[in-house]
Amino acid sequence: MATATTVEYQYTEKQKEAFRFLRTDARYTLLYGGARSGKSFAICRRIIHRAIQYPGSRFLIARLRLIHTRTSIYHETLRPMLQYFLGPEDWEYDKSEYVVNLWNGSEIWLGGFDSKERTEKMLGHEYLDIYFNEASQIGFEAVNIGITRLAQNIEGVTNRGYFDCNPPSHLHWLHRWFIEKLDPVDLTPLEKPEMYKSLLMNPEDNRENLPPGYIEDVLGTQSKRVRERMLYGRWVRPAGAVFDFLDDDAIIEPTEVPPIEFYSAGTDFGLNMACLFIGWSGENVYCLRDHGGFNCTTSTFNTDFLDSTFIVPEFTEDGELETKKKKISNEKYINYCDPAGGERIQEIRNGTGANNSVEPGLDYINTKIERKQFFIVGRHCPGLLSEIYDYARDEQGRIVKVNDHYIDAMRYGIFSPSTKKRWRPL
């Protein structure tokens, strides 16, 4: 059973603005900005109030990994708030099921998108609201599946999706969705842009609740790029970006792709499956189309990928440029798959084990980037674009294994054929 606490909360003007903002009629709301700005506090407060207001309602708070939901959200934010707003007899935490049960029958579930079994259990329920915490780390495919569970029917109440993040690059799906009002997959305007609203919150807005010197001595002494993101809440590449020399000139339109000499592909397995289709012209590499799936079978993923189309340029006899849609299944190529996939590789058309040398693979791609021999067809590679600028190393120089499914597929599909005899289409 819950125990009492002596915590006291002082609401800043920005927090009060966030409380009002979360009550707007938008179905999906994003709080973004720097570190320790009160984003998760505002959303957790909203969920607790809704849980009290609507008996029997169900809520989900999820991050990429369940353990981080438990440690960061439950222990540091949610539990102190429950102890503050409710009496010890009004709620209890079920450690085996990762769910907070309120006296009125409402439930607040904790989840993560890092385990097939836990994900299926988590998404086996319907929810009034879902909170995607640190949403920049969660793939768009997983979020798309998650929001289908915003289906608990309570009369007179609108289901809501809440998001927060320290902003990643401007090519991330969060920026596409909430700032540009575009569909992250095909980059077309959203049908109902009024459903997506965002609010910037920064540490300066929460100064009175932060330790003395935190803004000046902790955040203020970081590198310029860290300050831009964690202090000012700007959409920038993270510190330690692996592909730091990649610029916007490498993002091209389909009509800018020259005639392709041969094709390859790369596939990454896991709960988040990803595939990238690649074209080669001379020494230049073109990322033509990506495809992703969350919590799906390998055979279904393979079929969906083959059924998709990509745009290729062709020239008429008069030399005029035109574009045509082609199915991927019409081309000869090798699909270089994650070698840890085992028997799953056999379910991928033309699948074979990839060269999984991480550092040599990254060096090879970076060399292509520096030589201006690497290009991405932006409108057909939204998954890759949402990852490539945010793929980074930590302070010890280790790759941060978060939101990297398309990156791994890219590495398999580009580096593997560079070490083998190239397969040219018949």
pLDDT tens across 375-402, in order? Answer: 999 989 999 999 999 999 988 889 988 8
Is 215 within a domain? no
Q: Which of 183, 210, 237 delimits the end of a domain? A: 210
323 in a structural domain: yes
Number of domains in the chain: 2
Residues 127 and 33 in one domain: yes
Evaluate whether 236 touches 136 at the Cβ level (below 8 Å): no
Residue 122: which pLDDT band, with cuts at 50, 70 and 90?
confident
Q: Is residue 138 part of a domain?
A: yes
* Domain annotation covers residue 292: yes
Say if residue 31 is in the same domain as residue 177.
yes
Asked whether residue 236 is domain-assigned, the answer is no
Summarize pLDDT for 262-304 with one digit per residue, the tens.
Answer: 899 999 999 999 999 999 999 999 999 999 999 999 999 999 9
The whole-angstrom separation of Cα 390 and Cα 404 is 9
Which tokens belong to 214?
């935190």
Last residue within a domain, chosen from 210, 238, 264: 210
Residues 144 and 195 in one domain: yes
Are 193 and 314 part of one and the same domain?
Answer: no
From 151, 185, 210, the end of a domain falls on 210
CATH code for the domain of 25: 3.40.50.300
Q: Is residue 232 part of a domain?
A: no
Q: Are residues 253 and 198 in the same domain?
A: no
Same domain, 126 and 258: no
Residue 58 is assigned to a structural domain of this protein: yes
Q: Locate tokens 């978060």: which residue?
A: 402
Which runs of E-coded beta strand occur in 295-346?
309-315, 321-327, 333-337
Q: Find out whether 392 and 226 touch, Cβ atoms under 8 Å.
A: no
HSE of 393 in the Cβ direction (CA atoms, 13 Å)?
Answer: 11
pLDDT at 6 over 70: no
252 and 105 together in one domain: no
Domain holding 138, by residue range, is 13-210
Pairing verdict, β 99-102 and 272-281: unpaired
Top pLDDT among 3 and 190 is at 190
| Residue 121 confidence (pLDDT) above 90 | no
Give domain status of residue 225, yes or no.
no
Residues 332 and 384 reside in one and the same domain:
yes
Query: Full-prediction pTM beyond 0.85?
Result: yes
Residues 46 and 181 both lie in one domain:
yes
Q: In what order do the strands lie in the sheet with 272-281?
A: 251-252, 374-377, 284-294, 272-281, 262-268, 333-337, 351-353
379 and 296 fall within a common domain = yes
Are residue 138 and residue 270 in the same domain, yes or no? Answer: no
pLDDT in tens, 29-44: 999 999 999 999 999 9
Domain co-membership, 362 together with 299: yes
What value does the mean pLDDT take over residues 47-62? 97
